[in-house]
Amino acid sequence: MNPETPGTRFDALLTPLIRLSRNWVSRAGVFIVTAVAVFFIFLLPTMFSGAVSHPYLGILSFVVLPGIFVFGLVLIPLGLYLDRRRGGPQVLEPSERSWSNPMLRRLVMFIGVTTVVNIIIFSQLTYRAVHFMDSTAFCGTTCHTVMQPEFASYQNSPHSRVDCVQCHIGPGAAWEVKAKISGIRQVFKVLFNTYSRPTPAPVHDLRPAQDTCEGCHWPQKFATDRVRVISKYADDEANSVTKSVLLMRIGGGHLRKGIHGTHLEKGVTIRYRPADSKRQTVPWVELTREGEAPTVYLANGAKAEDMNKLELRTMDCIDCHNRPTHTYDMPESGVDRALAEGRISDTLPFAKKTSLELLKNQYKAGQDQQVADSFIEFYRSKYPEMYASKKAVIESSAAGLRAIYNRNIFPDMNVTWGTYPNNIGHMDFPGCFRCHDDDHKAANGKTIGQDCSGCHELLATDEKDPKILADFGYSK
Ligand code: HEC
Ligand code: HEC
Ligand code: HEC
Ligand code: HEC
Ligand code: HEC
């Protein structure tokens, strides 16, 4: 076919395309762009349903594809330019460059229409790319090993329906850009296998809680006291249970009361300087209440002149709730909770003791099945009759035990019991007692108090049958 002779209508439509791809480079470009456009049409149904759950498919569709698309587009003019330098024909010879020439009009139309289509395709793909990279599937599972601990703990947390980005990026373009730039650095760390194991915490450039947590929770909202029942199991044959009942003084509102109100109410600022990278020892605390002079509390033995070298941090939600979603257990509390929730049956003799021993053993990566197998083996060898009659209960308890292990131990990332301290409370980690130890003194002799009832009323402590629970109407 001679492209210069106007033939059928179809030929006429094709001539601009032929003119634009008279050399190999441009032809490859046209081919790539067309192929991506066809692929794009096949992608449309998934894009409308918004459900790309597989990270690699998502990366292919929304990250690699736009790249190939632009590459193809660039090839077209590049080919024309190279061809021209080699003395090839121009798209339009000088004699053809007149508006009365139908070829010129067709070419302008063609370029106009394809540009609009290309912009639609490209903007849709990149828009989806940004969306996709903000999805929990992308954050949680792309770099599988690296994010495994955080993703596993997240899935078991009260926030498992909150997207990673709502806490880690928050609203606004500036943080989005910041996160993407830091993301690129992290991609290289994963590619070159130079990331730290475990991922270090605290996250020093975490977005301040005012812009993230406070989009859903806010400290000025008064929360009434909250009752917590904590069950503990002994390591005897009967797994004897005792209960503590705590009335947590959450507080808030505008009363500067309770746990939230005292630290975070409007007009209250608490700053502190931790002495270690995990913020677990706090020698310097400063309390400022509007209209009053700041009070500085120094830990026993700390010297004021050494303090300026340390990180200065203004207290927000994260300083207590540092594990609102990546919450790990300690073996003891993990087993107690599983027993209380029935994931490990408390009807099995020595269930607590056996579970605890097995959890504390060391297993090689990928050998977590041993935790469950050993649990089953214990009952098979020590309680053969019970093993025969309660096989299902023993097996589901073994699975419950293995789940605790898998939620907390990640050998590839060097994450094990206690790797990430939790700052709520004071039992397993210093937590509140980093400051509330009666050992931080102000110049006037005042200390940050350890009065138990300032934080919680202890309605029962390790009691077998707390009367208060009966009063609440709990049955055993
Ligand atoms: C409810 C808010 C919230 C959500 C949702 C959330 N995170 Fe986090 N994440 C945090 C906080 C707070 C920290 C900082 C802990 C610290 O500084 O000690 C953190 C820390 C991390 C860390 C650093 C290591 C560590 O454990 O401290 C990684 C990695 C991480 N998050 C990944 C994720 C991924 C992946 C998701 C989604 C699957 C996610 N996060 C969802 C709040 C959240
Ligand atoms: C997108 C909304 C959203 C964001 C952002 C968010 N949360 Fe939550 N958070 C929730 C919801 C919803 C619940 C209640 C879940 C439930 O009751 O099961 C919750 C529950 C909680 C609880 C109570 C957990 C419990 O044991 O009952 C705490 C504490 C908490 N969030 C702290 C935080 C902190 C700290 C941040 C910031 C790092 C944060 N949240 C960010 C939605 C959010
Ligand atoms: C001084 C430490 C501290 C700070 C700071 C703090 N909290 Fe809390 N928060 C607690 C404690 C302690 C509890 C009770 C935990 C429990 O019941 O075990 C709690 C409970 C909660 C609950 C559950 C309340 C309920 O009624 O169930 C939410 C939600 C929460 N905090 C969100 C936040 C947010 C958001 C911030 C920041 C604006 C924040 N907290 C700052 C210590 C703190
Ligand atoms: C960084 C230091 C720091 C940490 C950590 C800290 N607090 Fe405080 N807290 C203070 C300071 C400072 C005050 C004010 C003391 C004063 O009024 O003189 C205070 C006061 C309080 C009060 C009021 C006490 C009263 O008797 O009036 C409560 C309740 C409280 N904190 C609970 C908690 C809880 C619960 C935690 C742990 C989840 C915690 N705090 C962690 C510094 C801290
Ligand atoms: C600065 C605040 C604060 C002070 C002071 C404080 N506690 Fe607590 N305590 C907490 C918080 C917060 C928790 C809840 C931890 C959690 O959410 O699991 C807790 C939990 C507990 C628990 C149950 C935890 C468990 O695993 O058994 C006991 C028991 C307890 N405290 C006893 C005491 C006693 C006794 C005192 C007085 C010497 C005291 N606390 C002083 C904040 C405080």
Same domain, 13 and 120: yes
The lowest-confidence range among 44-53, 68-77, 378-387 is 44-53
Q: What is the mean pLDDT of residues 208-224?
A: 84
Closest CA to 297 of 470, 91, 440: 440
Decide whether any atom of ligand 4 lies within 6 Å of the 434 Cβ: yes
Determine the pLDDT at residue 276: 94
DSSP code for 329: -
Domain boundary among 133, 161, 181: 133
pLDDT exceeds cutoff 70 at 196: yes
pTM: 0.89
Residues 83 and 158 in one domain: no
If asked whether residues 121 and 43 sit together in one domain, one would say yes
In the chain, pLDDT over 70 holds for what percent of residues? Answer: 95
> Which ligand has the shortest distance to the CA of 168?
1
pLDDT at 59 over 80: no
Cα(189) to ligand 5 centroid in Å equals 40
- Which residue owns the Cα nearest ligand 4 atom 36? 432
pLDDT of residue 7: 57
Whether 418 is covered by a domain: the verdict is no
Shared domain for 120 and 14, answered yes or no, is yes
The ligand 4 atom at the shortest distance from the C-alpha of residue 431 is: 37
pLDDT band per the 50, 70, 90 thresholds, residue 2 = very low
Q: Say whether both 46 and 86 belong to one domain.
A: yes
N-terminal to C-terminal alpha carbon distance within the chain: 90
CA gap 40, 38 in Å, rounded: 5
Contact between residue 360 and residue 331 where contact means Cβ atoms under 8 Å apart: yes
Residue 317 Cβ inside 6 Å of ligand 1? The answer reads no
Rounded to an integer, the average pLDDT of 20-43 is: 90
- CA 333 – CA 18 distance, rounded (Å): 72
What's the burial of 242, exposed, middle or buried (CB within 10 Å: 0-12/13-18/19+)? middle
Among residues 133, 150, 165, which one ends one of the domains?
133
Does one domain contain both 29 and 171? no
pLDDT of residue 49: 67
> How deeply is 294 buried, as exposed, middle or buried, from its count of CB atoms within 10 A (0-12, 13-18, 19+)?
exposed
Cβ–ligand 1 distance for 318 under 6 Å, the answer: yes
Does residue 448 contact residue 435 with C-beta atoms inside 8 Å?
yes
Ligand nearest to the CA of 212: 2
Q: In the predicted model, is pLDDT for residue 180 greater than 50?
A: yes
How far is residue 185's CA from residue 192's CA, in Å, rounded to a whole number? 11
Question: Which listed ligand is nearest to 452 at the C-alpha?
Answer: 5
Is 212 part of any domain?
Answer: no
Going by C-alpha positions, the residue among 118, 106, 132 that lies closest to residue 47 is: 132
Residue 296 near ligand 4, beta carbon < 6 Å:
no
**75 pLDDT more than 90:** yes
Q: Is 77 a member of any domain? A: yes
Q: Is 424 in the pocket of ligand 4 (CB under 6 A)?
A: yes
In-domain check, residue 419: no
Distance CA 92, CA 95 (A): 8
Cβ atoms within 10 Å of 271's Cβ, excluding its own: 15
DSSP H helices, 171-284, are 173-191, 258-264
Domain identity same for 339 and 190: no
Does 112 fall in a domain?
A: yes
Question: Both 121 and 176 in a single domain?
Answer: no
> Does residue 431 form part of some domain?
no
State phi, psi for 108 to the nearest 5 degrees.
Answer: -60, -45
Range of the domain at 164: 137-195
Is the C-beta atom of 213 inside 6 A of ligand 2? yes
In a domain, 421, yes or no: no
Tell me if 159 CB under 6 Å of ligand 2: yes
Which ligand has an atom closest to residue 137 CA? 1
Mean pLDDT of the chain: 89
102 shares a domain with 15:
yes
What average pLDDT does range 350-360 have in this prediction?
Answer: 97
Model confidence at 4, in pLDDT bands (50, 70, 90)? very low
- Residue 304, domain member (yes or no): yes
Three-state SS string over 359-375 comes to HHCCCCCCCCHHHHHHH
Q: Is the dihedral of CA 7, 10, 13, 15 positive or negative?
A: negative
* pLDDT for the residue numbered 343: 96
At 366 the pLDDT is 87
C-alpha of residue 321 to centroid of ligand 3, in Å: 7
Percentage of the chain surpassing pLDDT 90?
A: 63
Mutation probe of ligand 3 site: the residue of 166, 213, 260 with most atoms within 8 A of C-beta: 260
Q: Are 95 and 244 within one domain?
A: no
In single-letter form, the type of residue at position 396 comes to S
Q: What share of the chain is helix, strand, coil (3-state, %, to 5)?
A: 50, 10, 40
> Once rounded to an integer, what is the mean pLDDT over residues 25-43?
91
Per-residue pLDDT band at 413 (split at 50, 70, 90): very high
Alpha-carbon distance of 103 to 458, in angstroms, equals: 88
**Residue 53 pLDDT:** 59
Cβ of 250 closer than 6 Å to ligand 2, yes or no, is: no
User: How many distinct structural domains can be found in the chain?
Assistant: 4
If pLDDT is split at 50, 70 and 90, which confidence band does 389 have? very high
CB 80 within 8 A of CB 91: yes
pLDDT at 375 over 70: yes
Looking at the fold, whether 312 and 335 belong to one and the same domain comes out as no
Q: Return the bridge partners of 228, or none.
A: 246
pLDDT classification of 186: cutoffs 50, 70, 90:
confident
Instruction: Average the pLDDT over each of 128-132, 340-344, 396-400 and give the range with the smallest value.
Output: 128-132
Question: Residue 52 — very low, low, confident or very high, per pLDDT cuts 50/70/90?
Answer: low
Contact 270, 286 (CB under 8 A): yes
Question: Which has more pLDDT, 54 or 466?
Answer: 466
End-of-domain residue from the set 80, 115, 133: 133
Whether the ω angle into residue 158 lies within 30 degrees of 0, i.e. cis, is: no
Please indicate whether residue 432, judged by its CB atom, sits closer than 6 Å to ligand 5.
Answer: yes
At residue 126, what is the residue type?
T
Give the 3-state secondary structure of residue 78: helix
* Rounded distance between C-alpha atoms, residue 95 and residue 320, angstroms: 77
- CB of residue 317 inside a 6 A radius of ligand 3: yes
Residue 128 has pLDDT above 90, yes or no: no
More confident residue, 221 or 149: 149
DSSP bridge pairs for 230: 244
Partners of residue 91 on adjacent β-strands: none
| Interacting residues of 27 by C-beta distance below 8 A, sequence separation 6+ | 21, 79
The string of pLDDT tens digits covering residues 235-267 is: 999 999 999 999 999 987 777 788 998 998 888
Determine the atom of ligand 1 nearest the C-alpha atom of 166.
5
Average pLDDT over residues 205-217: 90
321 pLDDT above the threshold of 90: yes
Q: Is 262 in the pocket of ligand 4 (CB under 6 A)?
A: yes
The pLDDT value recorded for residue 135 is 85
- Co-location of 119 and 31 in the same domain: yes
What is the per-residue pLDDT for 198? Answer: 93
- Nearest CA to 168 out of 127, 136, 196, 200 is that of 136
Q: What angle do CA 164, 324, 407 make, to 5 degrees?
A: 80
Across 415-419, average pLDDT: 95
